[in-house]
A and B are shown apart, each in its own frame.
Chain A
Amino acid sequence: MRIGVFVCQCGENIGRTVDCPAVAEAAGRFPGVAYSVEYKYMCSDPGQNLIKNMIKEKNLDAIVVGSCSPHMHEKTFRKAALDAGVNPFLCEIANLREHCSWVHEDIVDATKKAIDLVRIAVEKVKKNTPLTPIRVPVTKRSLVIGGGISGIQAALDIANAGFECVLVEKEPSIGGHMSQLSETFPTLDCSQCILTPRMVEVYQHPKIKLLTYSEVENVEGFIGNFKVTIRKKARSIDESKCTGCGLCVQKCPIKKKAYNEFEENLAHRPAVYVPFPQAVPNIPVIDRTVCTYYQTGKCQMCVKVCGREAIFFEQQDEMITEEVGSIVVATGYKLYSIDKKPEESEIKGYGEYGYGKYKDVIDGLQFERIASASGPTSGEILRPSDNKVPKKIVFIQCVGSRDESKGFSYCSKICCMYTAKHAMLYKHKVHDGEAYVFYMDIRAGGKGYDEFVRRAIEEDHVKYIRGRVSRIYEEDGKYIVRGEDTIAGKPITIDADLVVLATAMIAQPNAVKLAQTIGMSYDKYGFYNEAHPKLRPVEVSTAGVFLAGACQSPKDIPESVAMASAAASKSLVLFGSDFLEREPTVAKVNESVCAGCFYCQKVCAYNAIEKKEIKDRKGNLVKVIAYVNSGLCQGFGTCNAVCPSKSVELIGFNDEQIYAEINAL
């Protein structure tokens, strides 16, 4: 083997503490080294040309570069080697900067160490073999989980780029929380008016396969090649026959048994229902827990009125398998419940605000429904207990948010803005009403946001009181709100008719389960972790999976939409090539030695180890052994370390190579 050694001074970074000419000179005397040289900037164009030219001129078949960390320039030097006709995996890096010059002061000792590091790399490269990158095909379809505004945006972007997309939504209709909102800040645009055209576009798009009332059960595979199992829950309605006429909904005799989830439990709904009039798809669902037929076998009123024979009581959940190349997770959020919920340990509720026992102490989404023209009060501001117009209304911010004692120390980000909007909507509808907002800080960062809050204060005369409320109690049909204005240093008591709590945005209850199904990491609150907080905000650590919207952290609509488009474009980048190239430094099992103990499977963090059956010629099972899925393997080598029979080899870092390095010292 003819090895070339190239020692870089990295300007002064290495040259100041390492005698680079001495290192190059010493390396020239190592067995197998045919050429050695030092240069000021090896990563520069002339530096790279030096490598290329010398490979050709000296007929080198492997190189060692003594330079900075392989994280920085391994790719650069491998590329240079490849350009000159040497396999990139026959290029080794000796880290003379982070591992030597930056951490030592004495030039004599540092130079000795640098020579050792180069010797190690030389011995390693002698044992290297040429490797070729693994090519995996890319399935150019995407799965979007969650049909709120984030999921809708991501699905439309992917589909409009010409790629197929499967949109999965767990509720009977897409639209998410945005479809429940009355108006949006800071423009007071009608939420449904801007959302419903997009919902319809999703439904009609030839490239989007919409699966509502469905949930992702299982995800297998890896980037470019995911295999997803989706449970399509039984609607008890034959979707192919239903025209959405709504007769069954009208005639259903069950009127008061079930709360309307879309109206945030402020109204009731029948057993067969469409969540809201603009639902997409406009196909009802039968709630089997309240439907008389499922309880007693009688009624069947819906069957009688349906002219299309679309009622399908015996319908079963259906399992659908989809093959996709990328996954966009857009599962959104839910609101912190102020009720006492002992079954959810992290939810402590607010005893001091009545644990949700007062009918006129409501949360932000409930107020959205009350203020919405399509809501239970047709947009008139009426309090739930007696349907009277509240003359005094109190809004309390940071309920659950920024409350360490309730288990949530983060800021929910959107409450300052939506509370200002609520107060404004109230004042626009109840001109003689008084609106109070208890706040701790006003966080109105965003285009036109602070101006919006100022408008609420200056033009609509909403009274902002800086302080947290200590207690709410009922007295003579009024809700006594006890607070303190910390600016004036004065206690304040308000006898309110209606209290609206801006409760925290929290992760979906099944967020952790989905994270484990897909292989995403999550924080202590159940929000999904991005791969890098600054530079990779929409990716997760599992390749091919992207995040959009409030499942990552509390977000408002424009942020969610922007993130959804980013996640879609990341998918499209993936779909830009037919094959993915992956590093060939993955684990490989020696099939003749593997005893099938599957220790490796237990320790693998990437689920890359599978079981493989070995059969003889007659088809009889001989043994079951471990098999590495090279698409999933990240080359971490834990399997290699734990294997009792030494039958796992990490390509590029096998035992022989590691021992060669150790023996070089």
Chain B
Amino acid sequence: MHAHNTHVETLAGKIEELTSQSVMQCYQCGKCSAGCPVRNYMEDSPNQVIRYVQLGFDDEALHSSTPWLCASCLTCSSRCPQNFDIAKFMDAVREVALEMEIDVKEKDVKKFHEAFLNQIKKNGKAFEFGMVREYKLKTLNLFQDVELFPEMLLKGKLSLLPHKKKDIKHIKKVFDEIK
């Protein structure tokens, strides 16, 4: 572990720029971790990831699986006594990790996000069946949760054809602008 000194180059500095909030706002009470619904799947607790960034242990934060397991449910952000938006922070960590082309630990999560965005790009709307199809092809997890498929189909939770948005140009424009 090596702590950085200059603020701008550090992960803390980049995150502050992206989120307009300083990581020093966090006083490490752990309330975010205490209420996190996916905490049990994480190696590092959410407050530990913030701690890494506070101390300048940027590699630890960028290589942690925690930001990728974050479901952005915002329970942490809404309960934080310091009004620190933890979900926004996690988003920024993911963004920096992608930008730096860091080998993400939770590869499937990254593929899931990609599959989701591709469907939006194609249809202008979320298309669950298409997303699952793409995700399965990407990860080769062909049989995971497959037993849920008939029931979801019957209940009308999945549709085999996408509901396309008529005017898809605007969505394209959004994607172009982000690129």
Contacts and interface: CB of A to CB of B under 8 A. Distances in A.
A370 to B, nearest CB: 26
A440 B31 CA distance: 10
Given A466-B30, A470-B31, A484 B47 contact: yes
Contacts of A467: 29-31, 33-34
Contact of A491 (B27, B29, B40, B75): B40
Contacts of B75: 470
Given A402-B81, A405-B82, A405-B83, A486 B35 contact: no
Given A489-B44, A489-B45, A483 B83 contact: no
A470 B35 contact: yes
B83 A491 contact: no
B48 interface: yes
A486 B30 contact: yes
Contacts of B35: 352, 470-471, 482
Nearest to B45: A489
A16 B28 CA distance: 53
Contact of B39 (A405, A406, A469, A491): A491
B83 A404 contact: yes
Contacts of B45: 484, 486, 489, 491
Contacts of A468: 29-31, 34, 81
B69 interface: no
A406 B81 CA distance: 7
Interface in A480-527: 482-486, 489, 491-492
A78 B48 CA distance: 64
23 contacts: A352-B79, A405-B81, A405-B83, A440-B29, A466-B30, A467-B29, A467-B33, A468-B34, A469-B34, A470-B34, A470-B35, A470-B36, A471-B34, A471-B35, A482-B34, A484-B31, A484-B45, A485-B30, A486-B30, A489-B44, A491-B33, A491-B39, A491-B40
A403 B81 CA distance: 5
A627 B44 CA distance: 72
B104 interface: no
- Contact residues on B (Cβ < 8 Å of other chain), bracket: 20 to 34
Given A466-B30, A471-B34, 11 more contacts: A352-B35, A398-B29, A402-B81, A403-B81, A404-B81, A405-B79, A468-B29, A469-B31, A471-B35, A486-B28, A489-B45
A398 B81 CA distance: 10
B93 to A, nearest CB: 18
The 8 closest A-B pairs by CB, nearest first: A470-B35, A467-B30, A470-B34, A468-B31, A468-B29, A486-B30, A484-B33, A484-B34
Nearest to B48: A489
A471 B33 CA distance: 11
Interface string B42-71: 001101100000000000000000000000
Interface in A268-327: none
Contacts of B47: 484, 486
B96 to A, nearest CB: 23
A510 to B, nearest CB: 27
A486 B29 contact: yes
Contact of A470 (B48, B79, B82): B79
B80 interface: yes
A484 B28 CA distance: 11
B34 A491 contact: yes
Contact of A483 (B28, B34, B79, B82): B34
Contacts of A484: 30-31, 33-34, 39, 45, 47
A482 B32 CA distance: 11
Contacts of B29: 398, 440, 467-468, 486
Given A484-B39, A486-B45, A491-B39, A404 B33 contact: no
Contacts of A483: 30, 34
Interface string B85-104: 00000000000000000000
A402 B27 CA distance: 10
A436 to B, nearest CB: 13
B86 to A, nearest CB: 12
Contacts of A440: 27, 29
Contacts of B40: 491
A352 B79 CA distance: 8
A482 B39 CA distance: 11
Contacts of B80: 405
Contacts of A482: 34-35
B39 to A, nearest CB: 5
Contacts of B33: 467, 470, 484, 486, 491
